[in-house]
Amino acid sequence: MGNNDKSQTPKTPTAKSGSGDPPAEHYMSPPAPLLALFQTHASFLLLGHENPDGDAVGSALALGHMLRGMGKQVSVAFPTPPPDWWAHMPGAEMVTEQPLQAPDVAISLDCDDISRLDHLTDAYLQAPYRTEIDHHTSARCSCEVCYIDPEASAVGVLIHRILTAMHRPLTPEIATCIYWAIATDTGFFRFANTNAEALRVSAQCVAAGAHAHGIARATVGSRPLAHLILKGRALADLKQYLDGRVLLTVVSMQDFAAAGANRTHAEGIIDDIRLAPDVDVYVLFKAAGANDCWQVSLRSGVIDCAELARRFGGGGHAQAAGFSLDGTLADGRRHLLDALADVLPKQTDE
């Protein structure tokens, strides 16, 4: 199987627009070979990336609910534990540290490269049928059946398209998981990837039983004390670089230890940093343990974060991406700042 994305279908209109109506939305429909896998096979292993976020978890559980409703055997696994709040999602019991052995189909979700499956990569590659469902601009397809649409605001949107194409009901459980996926990946509808489809699907999910306030409260409306202490240390260490165009901070192993925090408590800190105005690029370095490499998060509306992250073996979206770095903080910071100096648009005097 090659890297060509053979099973992606061309974008087709999903609605007609009349005089005075907004332009018709166009999006990539689920490929027929993908839908055939769901129809013809009995057991499925759904996998998400390391350090899974709400989109990875919500999408996997939503798809798991759909497949269970079709009488399929399903298990869900992630290389590292999801954030604490994932346990509130319906279907959390599908997630296991001992994934289904020898499934008919293995599916990678929200994972732009299968290397991000870490120790679950072999379980994915050993399945007789494999497929990938993703929306990253940096996605690298490793199999013949792929459903990748970088214009989708979240993988949760793609699951909704699949559900519609399969003529399956939007149950309260599926609606909750899809809403969770879309809301978290759009920053609860604050980020630039919030589009009409995301809002429409989210509204349908609320109508079907997703509790928007409860999801917001569980995800961003309540934070463990360890997260708040860790965020305080990160904000206190903010530094400006490249004439103030880059805002960067670090949460080190010592910061995690002082806060009594683990890796999941660092979720969302980068999005607090990006609240600072008049900055082109926001950067967070974090390492939770002595044996951890540096995890680097990038946010920007000025440069293509995914393209920059690919230079360091990472990936993501144009406005939000990340990568890992071995070595010292000083070296990693210097290499990143050198790269940023190359890609930042030149400033002109007004």
pLDDT digits (tens, 9 = 90+) for 139-185: 778 888 999 999 999 999 999 999 999 999 999 999 999 999 999 99
Extents of the domains making up the chain: 11-219, 225-343
Q: What is the pLDDT of residues 276-334, one digit of tens each?
A: 999 999 999 999 877 778 999 999 999 999 999 999 998 888 899 999 998 899 999 99
pLDDT grade for 9, boundaries at 50, 70 and 90: very low
The answer on pLDDT for 6 being more than 70 is: no
Q: What is the pLDDT of residue 201?
A: 98
To the nearest whole number, what is the mean pLDDT of the chain? 89
Q: Which CATH number fits domain 225-343: 3.10.310.30, 3.80.30.20, 3.90.1200.10, 3.30.365.10?
A: 3.10.310.30
- Tell me if 180 sits within 8 A of 219, measured CB to CB: yes
The single-letter code of the amino acid at 230 is L
Percent of the chain with pLDDT over 70: 92
Q: Specify the amino acid at residue 117.
A: L
Domain 11-219: top CATH class: alpha beta
Tokens of 319: 């406005």
Compute the distance between CA of residue 297 and CA of residue 286 in angstroms, rounded to an integer: 8
pLDDT band at 25 (very low <50, low <70, confident <90, very high): low
3-state secondary structure the chain: CCCCCCCCCCEEECCCCCCCCCCCCEEECCCHHHHHHHHHCCEEEEEECCCCCHHHHHHHHHHHHHHHHCCCEEEEECCCCCCHHHHHCCCHHHECCCCCCCCCEEEEECCCCHHHHHHHHHHHHCCCEEEEEECCCCCCCCCCEEEECCCCCCHHHHHHHHHHHCCCCCCHHHHHHHHHHHHHHCCCCCCCCCCHHHHHHHHHHHHHCCCHHHHHHHHCCCCCHHHHHHHHHHHHCCEEECCCCEEEEEECHHHHHHHCCCHHHHCCHHHHHCCCCCCCEEEEEECCCCCCCEEEEEEECCCCHHHHHHHCCCEECCCEEEEEECCCHHHHHHHHHHHHHHHCCCCCCC
Phi and psi angles of residue 165, each rounded to the nearest 5 degrees, phi first: -65, -30
Q: What is the pLDDT of residue 219?
A: 87
Q: What is the pLDDT of residue 155?
A: 97
pLDDT over threshold 90, residue 24: no
pLDDT score recorded for residue 247: 98
Q: pTM (2 decimals)?
A: 0.81
Q: How would residue 348 be classed by pLDDT, with cut points 50, 70 and 90?
A: low
Is the per-residue pLDDT at 273 higher than 90? Answer: yes
* Res. 100: pLDDT tops 90: no
pLDDT in tens, 314-325: 888 889 999 999
Nearest alpha-carbon partner for 340 in 314, 302, 313: 302
Higher pLDDT, 289 or 203: 203
pLDDT tens readout for residues 36-50: 999 999 999 999 998
Please report the pLDDT score of residue 304 as a whole number: 94
Confidence category of residue 126, pLDDT binned at 50, 70, 90: very high
